[in-house]
Amino acid sequence: MIAYLILTHRYPNQFKRLFNAIYHPDNFYLVHIDSKSSHELHDEIKEFLMKYNNAQILVSENTLWGGYSLVNAELRGIKHLLNQNKDWKFFINLSGQDFPLKSQEYIHNFLLNHIDTDFLKVMNQKEFRADTMHRIENYVTEVDDEIISEPVVKRQFLNDVIPYIGNQWMILSRKFCEFITYSPEVERFKQFYEHTLIADEGFFQTVIMNTTYKSTIVNNDKRAIDWIPMGTIKLRPRDFTIKDEAFLIGTDNLFARKFDETLDMNILDVLDKHIAQK
């Protein structure tokens, strides 16, 4: 039913807890472990997944926050999952520090009522997030663990294309996953966004809104996220704690991010119990 891609780079115990919370025998799971993570983390997660026939490891590559490498990991993951099975209907990406707010049965039933629907945040970047236009105007190169920006000359955006922006986290229909994997229309978007900043928050949105792909788009990624200011980055997701119990249990979102086991594990105990009761 659902194909999950989980991007993780630390906290193996928290990853295992997430995996157990979203596990269902009818789903498919693909895990990408950042190549910069320790050998111990790689080995522990690989050993953990060995007992699940419907779980695999995606070939590890270096990913860098703000770099196109995150989009590349998503695209590689989607293609791998398409080749892995022909029956799943939805793709959901998660980080290792996300957690579900509903049971898999609930999520399955919800998605069955929305076949061929794509859930992702979408807004006109120039109109609603003009402060981020430098992300696509400056020429960016990702080199190892560094992003080099060349802001001297503004780049011309793709012809007859409106830039859109949203969030990295999405629920995508298989229909769109097949389109973005195999349609030749997507190639020019890949080539352009490869040299942009924080491409994972704009690439998928811009493709879905500027191609011949037709679908029902819901402007909601079904994630509970509390964005808070953080220096020059401007916003980052706040770590949820036990103080957020009422909010997380009461929301109609399907997932939440993010959680940190070194800060508060009690909230995950509460959510585990809540999911089991549903």
Tell me if the pTM is above 0.85.
yes
> Which one-letter amino acid corresponds to residue 156?
Q
pLDDT tens string, the chain, 278 residues long: the values are 899 999 998 889 999 999 999 999 999 999 998 887 788 888 999 999 999 999 999 988 878 888 899 999 999 999 999 998 888 999 999 999 999 999 999 999 999 999 999 999 999 999 999 999 999 999 988 887 788 887 766 789 999 999 999 999 999 999 999 999 999 999 999 999 999 999 999 999 999 999 999 889 999 999 999 988 876 656 788 999 999 999 999 999 999 999 999 999 999 999 999 998 86
> Which one-letter amino acid corresponds to residue 266?
N
Residues contacting 118, CB < 8 A, separation 6+: 170, 171, 172, 173, 176, 208, 215, 216, 217, 218
* Distance (Å, whole) CA 223 – CA 202: 17
Instruction: Map out the domains of the chain with their CATH numbers.
Output: 2-225 (3.90.550)
Residues contacting 67, CB < 8 A, separation 6+: 140, 142, 147, 199
